[in-house]
Structure 1
Amino acid sequence: MISPSAPSPAPIRISCGRVLLAGREILAPLDLTLSEQRIGVIGRNGSGKTTFLRLLAGLIPAESGSVSVNGADLARERKLALRQIGILFQNPDHQILFPTVEEELAFGLRQQGLSQSAALAHAHQALRAEGRAHWARMPVSSLSGGQKQFLCLLSVLMMAPSTLLLDEPFSGLDLPTIFRLKRRLAALPQRLITITHDPASLEEAQRLIWIERGAVLADGPPATVLPVFTSEMERLGAFDADTDLAG
């Protein structure tokens, strides 16, 4: 894992055209530079937040332009992307690939070029450091939802990315697990970009980006963006349907 004294990550530069899925525009053209340590991306369900996360990670391309770090395109240079960007998805079952904990932890390191034996040794070391050495050969299916989420976080951190993308990281977790995960995330030196529809989970954010219908509607400090976002959500909540996001 990266030590608490790790240097600040390089800015992520986003200068790209539309993102289309099945011929439909999901994200409008974007021109952003992400340099703050704690960034929140807010918006309603279906507004394009998760697509924005996938674009940042280099998992999907835009129509033109690039998402880059130090001039390197993350969509084209996948090894660089693995070193720069880690993702914690909302549902750990959509992220976990292997039947045992040690295999899951070793996978990312294998992608970075380590041998199987070296990757497993690092996995066991990481589990010992977390007081979870007994997890090594446990079936992932035997873990609780919160434990699976922690496993996914640990597997990402072992790859030492400079930026973590968090997609609704507290969804479906009970309160003690949420508090533990928040404490762990707050102590990390990496840049955290948290995708959420819940402003209450962004207490530490230095910057908020509000995405609505695939476009950036507001971008600035929480004190400026949150009151406007909350007021609009209250206005929309006065209606009985949300058909405006359909189609």
Structure 2
Amino acid sequence: MPDPAPSGIRLDQATVRLGGRVVLDGLRLSLSERRIGILGRNGSGKTTLLRLIAGLIAPDQGRVTVEGADPFADRKAALGNLGILFQNPDHQILFPTVEEELAFGLVQQGLPQREALARAHDLLAGEGRSHWAQAPVSTLSQGQRHYLCLLAVLMMQPRTILLDEPFAGLDLPTQARLSRRLAALPQRLVTITHDPAALEGADRVLWLEAGRIALDGPPAEVLPAFIAEMERIGACDADADLAG
């Protein structure tokens, strides 16, 4: 009997080296839960892992698949399987107006420009933001640009959305609105963060430390262990490892 169709994100002995240094070290993961958190302090390899899963880089060793496809080698499949919401919306926005930004991903998927723009207008109407359509992106606030990036991702209907520190730099009301919207999404969400509080509602949390998985399990198990270790490190000279 053949194996069932592959589902989710799989890493098989995935290793990444940057500048001669091992940043991700032989990761073996199978991620299929609906809400997944990847937790770690700065320099732990979180951003590199996000880029690897997204297909923005290839592993130096091992293999990565998303819904059975290699996201680096098969960019067309990656467009349908994955969306990314970066921490800084200005690193993601490419076009001068809202409608153009929303339509771009659909055009990349092969939709004619006119139909892509029509769908963008329909989405904005459903969001109560029809007046945004021809607005210059430069007139939007930081929170509004962040929301625009989320809408652009949702336009493409990916199965999985990667969230890079999704609440960083947002004020509390904007965080609350974004949190409600994300919680209601049907897609699998993979949230990459250094903030344990952002992962309290996750189904599964992976603690990444120095490119390896330090702990993998439910939030109730992983978050207290991570917090205790960060407090222990904070009580010492946390910069000692930088001394030459």
Shift in Å, 1:34: 0.1
- With structure 1 as the length reference, what TM-score do the two structures score? 0.93
Q: 1:14 is matched with which residue: 7, 11, 15?
A: 11
Task: Tell me which moved more, 112-121 or 62-71.
Answer: 62-71
Shift in Å, 1:70: 4.1
Question: Do the aligned partners of residues 119 and 215 (structure 1) sit closer, same or farther apart at CA in structure 2, a change above 3 Å counting?
Answer: same
Shift in Å, 1:71: 2.9
2:124 and 2:130 in contact (8 A); partners too = yes
Task: Tell me which moved more, 94-103 or 65-74.
Answer: 65-74
Give 2:167's aligned residue. Answer: 170
Shift in Å, 1:18: 1.4
Q: 2:30 is matched with which residue: 29, 33, 38?
A: 33
Aligned pair 1:220/2:220, yes or no? no
Q: 1:87 is matched with which residue: 84, 100, 108?
A: 84
Aligned pair 1:48/2:28, yes or no? no
1:135-185 alpha-carbon deviations (Å, 9 max, x no partner): 011110110010000000000000000001000000000000000000000
1:2-41 alpha-carbon deviations (Å, 9 max, x no partner): xxxxxxx932111133101232221111110001100110
Letter in 2 for 1:121: A
Aligned residues: 239
Give 1:198's aligned residue. Answer: 195
Structure 1 unaligned segments of length 5 or more: list them: 1-8
Aligned pair 1:107/2:104, yes or no? yes
Letter in 1 for 2:141: S
Q: 2:186 is matched with which residue: 189, 196, 212?
A: 189
1:213 and 1:245 in contact (8 A); partners too = no
| Coordinate RMSD, CA, aligned | 1.5
Shift in Å, 1:246: 7.9
Aligned pair 1:123/2:120, yes or no? yes
- With structure 2 as the length reference, what TM-score do the two structures score? 0.94
Aligned counterparts of 1:18 and 1:119: Cα–Cα separation in 2: 38
Aligned counterparts of 2:85 and 2:119: Cα–Cα separation in 1: 20
Higher relative contact order (CA 8 A, sep 6+): 1
2:143 and 2:174 in contact (8 A); partners too = yes
Aligned pair 1:63/2:60, yes or no? yes
Structure 2 unaligned segments of length 5 or more: list them: 1-5
Aligned counterparts of 2:27 and 2:36: Cα–Cα separation in 1: 16
Question: Do the aligned partners of residues 97 and 80 (structure 1) sit closer, same or farther apart at CA in structure 2, a change above 3 Å counting?
Answer: same
Aligned counterparts of 2:195 and 2:11: Cα–Cα separation in 1: 24
